[in-house]
Amino acid sequence: MRACVFDLDGVLVDSEPVWEEVRRAFVAEHGGTWQPDTQSRLMGMSTAEWAAYLRSLGVGMPAGEIARAVVERMAARYRAGVPLMPGAVETVRRMSGQVTLGLASSSPRTLIDAVLAEAELVECFAATVSTEEVPRGKPAPDGYLEAARRLAVDPGECVAVEDSSNGLRSAHAAGMRVVAIPHPRYPPAPDALALAWRVVPDLDALTVETLS
């Protein structure tokens, strides 16, 4: 292992409940209908992809306007406090002293930068990628492949840390070994979890030794 690439939402930040609350409310306010599988579909999508999906639920606004409005609401929630996962700061700081770290997130760049700045983790990551910056969001491998490129490391020499079905599929498709930390509220599908090289219960269990 030459590098470890983290996901953000659901791994370092307990943001999926916030995303669901914000997007669900937005859809309801603008005449759309939230479906039973909407949240699971949205996890891992790029900003353009989830905005288009919310529009397909009946939101009567252009996708670009949907994206701007939802991201603004998320930024406001983060300004009130970033919901970091237990052990997130300690784990990243501990591992950054032992291995090169990257980040591949479906969050827009503005939210990635806000979270890392608030947590004082900016300097821990050698490269960060938003799926806004690549052609396709997760489950496509584009974000992880771009992270490996920016780190100048072969994807096969990287370990990815993921929680969601689409994230696990994305990192696996990129050729990385995937460590899964399933989120208790949004567990990955069994077929996606089967792609994991290792499954650990939480960030405290993530060490360079367990990844080697």
Known catalytic residues are 7, 9
Q: Which amino acid is at 73?
A: R
Instruction: Provide the 3-class DSSP secondary structure of residue 104.
Output: strand
Say whether the peptide bond before residue 83 is cis (omega within 30 degrees of 0): no
Q: What are phi and psi of 35, to 5 degrees?
A: -100, 160
What is the side-by-side order of every strand in the sheet holding 198-199? 127-130, 100-105, 3-6, 158-162, 177-180, 198-199
Structure tokens at 30: 């603008």
Residue 138 to residue 143: CA distance in whole angstroms: 7
Is residue 14 a contact partner of residue 85, using CB atoms and an 8 Å limit?
yes
